[in-house]
Amino acid sequence: MLTDTELLALLPSKQRDFLAKSIGRRLIEVERFFGSDVPSFLEGGYFSEADYFSYNSGAVHLHFEGNLTYGLDVYGSELSIVVFPGTLSSDGFMKLYQLSEITAASRSLKDCLGRICQDVRIWTLQEDFESEEAKEVALSFLLAGERELFYCIYLLDDCDSGYLLLGQDVPREKVASCFSIARGEYIDSRNSTAQDSNY
């Protein structure tokens, strides 16, 4: 188990050089760890089967060409996500699912596979009060063809653990800032969409 000091070093803002390695590389696979299966996920009647891979809570592996892998997970006490080099290990209760093979995923999410990464963006949370938490609540990968893939927490009202969503499904009202690794600067967090990839 990692210490707080070790986890703080894994915040996206501390991993910019490592995250920049994905720019120019093709996304070849996405994997997620889930503790609940599809029937359990559908019990509440709120989601459809196609939402399972996106709206079920769990950690993520992003595999890019050239043997580059990121493990993304939630660092709850800092209201943040963390970036691990390489793959994460299961605790025995979580099952690993691949986007390329699972049927319980949207066609638009599967369409992210094979696209080249153009930028990586770090998103922070805006709150009504000041606190010392890091609050790096989303990491997005801007892909060719105007696709933006988000791993996020807290930006949705019911999202206190990790979801994997497309940009159009992520509200921006709670965003405080957005840092573009490709540009090396903060960009307009309210209007930053895949369309502003022409820089």
pLDDT in tens, 50-104: 999 999 999 999 999 999 999 999 999 999 999 999 999 877 788 999 999 999 9
Domain that holds residue 16: 4-197
- Using the 8-state DSSP alphabet, how is residue 115 labeled? P
pLDDT at 190 over 90: no
- pLDDT (0 to 100) of residue 193: 53
- pLDDT (0 to 100) of residue 130: 78
Overall average pLDDT of the 183-196 stretch: 73
| CA dist list (Å): 130 to 13, 122, 133, 134, 149 | 19, 19, 9, 11, 28
* pLDDT band at residue 44 under the 50/70/90 scheme: confident
The whole-chain average pLDDT of the chain stands at: 92
- pLDDT (0 to 100) of residue 197: 42
pLDDT at 199 over 60: no
Domain count within the chain: 1
- pLDDT (0 to 100) of residue 191: 62
* Stated pTM of the model: 0.93
- Which residues touch 58 (CB under 8 Å, ≥6 apart)? 32, 33, 34, 35, 94, 161, 162
